[in-house]
Structure formats: structure tokens, C-alpha cells
Amino acid sequence: MTTSLAPTTDSADSRAAFYQQRPDSAQHIDLSVMIGSLRLSNPVMPASGCFGPELGRLIPAEELGAAVTKTVFSEPRGGNLAHRLTEIPAGMVNSVGIPSQGPIGYLTHLHHAYESLGIPTIISVGGHRPSEYASVVAGLRGRGSALELNVSCPNLDRDGMDIGADPDAIVEVVRQVRQETDLPLIVKLSPMVPSISVCAQAAESAGASAVCVSNSLPSLPIDPLTHQPALGNIIGGLSGPSVRPIVLRLVWQSAKAVQIPVIACGGIDTVDDALEYFSVGASAVQVGTANFGRPFAMVQIARELSALSKNLGASSMSDLVRLWRNDSEA
């Protein structure tokens, strides 16, 4: 038997009515998760670059565990040449290239809007070398609830990927950033490494509070009409459902290698996708590409986790995963 997630009917109207309803939190299990000293009320949050405050106003963002910002660089930068996005059958390839206003621009123009969502703000930080990460963090002046160190962007020059592929450089980024802040640190790892376990262990050994697995995968889409590269930057990051089995393997290996929480990120669209990740050891999930087509996807996943827990009588997240697995086998 396969579990029937609420709502139990396929009618579009009743589905819409169900998802518009605010859940009665008193009836549901505690889905909270700790990232270092930071408590998230539930394990669902957006992936960096795939959610901004303007989207937060279209959905009940207060039902998310956290907001994660677009990566902030030390200096203002414009990003890559157009075209920056292209759709593929099971996802998208982007070469946005991290346009950034720098830490001062971020604090002046964006931070307040994220904070007004009423959930923890996790600020994503980028750089080309460890000292640049530390300088962004110094410029952020302690703002935010946690920091996510993006050592894995496929859309920069090689440097962005080089840090994420070098365990010693990961250690150095965390070490230098730690000198500037006491906030919980999440290290966002690259999928393009010989051993994700070694990279996750490097982050943990340097004092990271969690790892996020993973960033998008470098790829080269061809435009079917022009037969030329579809993106101005030629190379872009592949994301969406097509990457999920790859990232599931990476999350599984990471979770076996470290004690700190592993935040899964790759092709999550539904509660079942999220549960796949929880079943291989993830403690939380980030949703990226799905937000562009269905801004409500994250809230729906958070609500369905609660509804499913109640339906199955789960007492904790691990209990929920166990029951979800058994229920599918029955």
C-alpha cells in the first residue's frame, strides 16, 4: 500500500483548499532541527539563489524553517552574460554568475526584507579565496542567524570550484571565517569531488555546524534551434529532478562520514523527494529549482511532512522515515 498524503482527494479545488489552510501545529510532531545553536522550527528551507523576499511575500514564508539568501560577495559584481537560464527536460541549467551588491549593499537593501519574513535568515557567503569569505563575514557585522559558505559555485571562474574541491582550502575558509563570527556555519559542498566524505569531514573538523550537499552540477546545454551553447557563459549549473539520484548518493555518503547535520539540496519538488533524502541521513532539505515553477512547493512540503506524521502516528522524524518506508513496502 502506498501512503495517501493529505489531501485524500485529487480534486484541484480541494487540494487548493487544503494547502491554503493553516495547519494546527498543536496536532503535529516536533519537526524542529538544530544547526549548531540555531533552532529551525522545521527542516524545509529554500536553496540559495532560488528565493528572495519578493517570493516570500507570495507564500506563508513563516511556515518555513529558514530563508537562505543569494550568495553575497565581497565586492559588487554583475553576474554572467545572457542567456543565463535554460530549461531542460528534468530541470534547468543556470549561469547567473552570482550578481551581488557586496555586504554593505546587502545590509542596506536586502537584509531587512529577509528579516521581515519572521524566520531565521541564513546568509550565503561567497569568495575566490579564504580571506575574501572572512572579509564578507566581517562586513556583515554579525547579522543573520547563520551563514552558509558557498565553496562550490560552478558559475564563477575556476576559483569558486577549486576551494570546494580542496579539503585543505575548505578548512582554511572555515578557520578564517570563524575568526570573524560566532554564528553557526554551514559549508555548501560541491558535487564534483572525488570524495564528498573527505570534504564533509574537512568542514566538520574545522568547526562547521552543518554541511549542505550540494551545489548544482557544471554542465553544457546546447540550444536545439541554433545548435550553439544555450548559455552566454557556455557552462552552467544543472539543477532540478535530474540531479536527485546523484545528490542522494552524495548525501548518503556525507551523512555516514560526519556527525554534524547534512542539509540535502538537489531536485526536491515534493514531500516524497524530501523523505528520500531524510531516509539516507539528511537532517534538513533545501528547495531550489522547484520554486521557479511552484513557489508554494516548500510550504506544501512542510505541511505534508506534518500531515504525514500525523497520519502515520510518527513521534519523531526518524520514526516518520521508518513508518514511511514500512508503509511503502506493505
Ligand X SMILES: Cc1cc2nc3c(=O)[nH]c(=O)nc-3n(C[C@H](O)[C@H](O)[C@H](O)COP(=O)(O)O)c2cc1C
Footprint of ligand X (CB under 6 A): 47-50, 70-71, 92, 94, 96, 98, 124, 150, 153, 188, 215-216, 237, 239-240, 243, 265-268, 287-289
**146 or 268: whose CB is closer to ligand X?**
268
Radius of gyration of the chain (CA): 19
Closest CB to ligand X: residue number: 49
Q: How near is the Cβ of 261 to ligand X at its closest, in Å?
A: 16
Chain-centre distance of CA 300, in angstroms? 16
**255 or 290: whose CB is closer to ligand X?**
290
Can you tell me the distance from the alpha carbon of 19 to that of 76, in angstroms, rounded to the nearest whole number?
39
DSSP 181-235: --S-EEEEE-S-SS-HHHHHHHHHHTT-SEEEE--PEEE--B-TTT-SBSSTTS-
**23 or 144: whose CB is closer to ligand X?**
144
**217 or 257: whose CB is closer to ligand X?**
217
Q: Which of 153, 199, 212, 265 is catalytic?
A: 153
Q: How near is the Cβ of 74 to ligand X at its closest, in Å?
A: 14
What Cα–Cα distance (Å) separates residue 313 from each residue in 55, 58, 217?
33, 32, 38
- The pair phi, psi for residue 100, each rounded to 5°, is -150, 150
Q: Can you say whether residue 35 is alpha, beta or left, with left for phi > 0 and alpha for psi between -120 and 50 degrees?
A: beta
Q: How near is the Cβ of 4 to ligand X at its closest, in Å?
A: 25
Note if 50 is an active site residue: no
**282 or 323: whose CB is closer to ligand X?**
282
Q: How near is the Cβ of 220 to ligand X at its closest, in Å?
A: 16
Axis crossing angle, helix 271-279 with helix 297-312, rounded to the nearest 10: 70
Helix, strand, or coil (residue 89): coil
Measuring CA to CA, which residue among 30, 34, 41 is closest to residue 209?
34
Could you tell me which residues come within 8 angstroms of residue 213 by beta carbon, excluding any fewer than 6 positions away?
189, 191, 196, 200, 247, 250, 251, 254, 262, 263, 264, 265, 266
Residue with cell 569531488: 193
Q: How near is the Cβ of 18 to ligand X at its closest, in Å?
A: 24
| Catalytic center residues | 153
